[in-house]
Amino acid sequence: MAAAITAAIVTQLVASVTRTAANGQDVGTVVANFFSFFTILSNAGSVVVLAWAAIWYLTRRGAATHEPRGLAVALASVTVYMIVTGIVYNLLLRGIELPQGSQPVPWSNETLHVVAPIFLLLDLFVGPLRRRLPWRAVLAIIVFPVVWVIYTLIRGPLVTNPVSADPFWYPYPFLNPNNFANGYLTVLIYVVGIAVAIVAVALFVVWIGRRRGSGGNMR
């Protein structure tokens, strides 16, 4: 799965860069924008964590009963991010053209938004040697989405869209205050709604892990 996600990311990046270069647009900005999408960052993180999990599982010593704490938190985190990616994309963004500089490559797009999220969801239920995490792990899980939203809203008005030449660039339309009559107020409503969804999914992931796992702190 890590290899499939990597291939999907690389394929879409190459398509975006190729089209940008052919149109004489700013390749550097497009690459930076590409790696500013929550989807891309979540999938890239999943590649690292899935590879880590595979290497640990295949090289573990002795009769390990559960995964290391760091790996457990990392797996829970990317699982939450990928589930949320799948939900948000398929409910809010499917069929909407996003400003990535190139039309989505169909198989790559489906891998990043459907196949990979489903894989991480299934892994939550069937992955071996899972560690029971404390409830406070939810706080660690939500750090990245919070940082990403802050980064996105600060960066947005500072970047010129290399495709449309608008004096702003946001990865998703619901984060772009220029799309709404109430500006940032509407953006805030979307952010709060998605934040609630992230916390809910994080609680669900930790709860399943606590039911399936062993070791760890029950608090």
From CA 16, how far away is CA 165, in angstroms rounded?
A: 16
For 88-111, what is the mean pLDDT?
A: 78
From CA 107, how far away is CA 112, in angstroms rounded?
A: 9
From CA 164, how far away is CA 174, in angstroms rounded?
A: 18
What domain range is 44 assigned to?
2-212
For 101-149, how does the pLDDT look when each residue is reduced to its tens digit (9 = 90+)? 556 788 999 999 999 999 999 999 999 899 999 999 999 999 999 999 9
From CA 123, how far away is CA 104, in angstroms rounded?
A: 26
Give the N- to C-terminal CA distance of the chain in Å, as an integer.
32
Residue 9 maps to a domain: yes
Residue 185 maps to a domain: yes
Residue 202: CB atoms within 10 A of its CB come to 25
pLDDT attached to residue 93: 79
For residue 101, the 8-state DSSP code is: S
pLDDT attached to residue 104: 77
Give the distance, in angstroms, between the CA of residue 201 and the centroid of all CA atoms in the same chain: 13
From CA 73, how far away is CA 41, in angstroms rounded?
A: 17
pLDDT attached to residue 41: 97
For 141-198, how does the pLDDT look when each residue is reduced to its tens digit (9 = 90+)? 999 999 999 999 999 999 998 878 889 999 998 999 999 999 999 999 999 999 999 9
**Are the C-beta atoms of 33 and 170 separated by less than 8 Å?**
no
Token look-up 């991480």 returns: 120
User: pLDDT averaged over the chain?
Assistant: 91
Residue 32 maps to a domain: yes
Range name among 32-41, 60-69, 108-117 with the lowest pLDDT average: 60-69
For residue 177, the SS3 value is helix
The yes-or-no verdict on residue 213 having pLDDT over 80 is no
For 36-64, what is the mean pLDDT?
A: 92
pLDDT attached to residue 95: 73
Residue 31 maps to a domain: yes
Tokens of 151: 């980064």
For 5-33, what is the mean pLDDT?
A: 91
Model's pTM, two decimal places? 0.91
Residue 219 maps to a domain: no
Residue 217 maps to a domain: no
What's the alpha-carbon Rg for the chain, to the nearest Å? 19
pLDDT attached to residue 105: 85
From CA 92, how far away is CA 88, in angstroms rounded?
A: 5
Q: What total number of domains does the chain contain? A: 1
For residue 141, the 8-state DSSP code is: H
Residue 218 maps to a domain: no
pLDDT band at 19 (very low <50, low <70, confident <90, very high): confident
The yes-or-no verdict on residue 96 having pLDDT over 90 is no
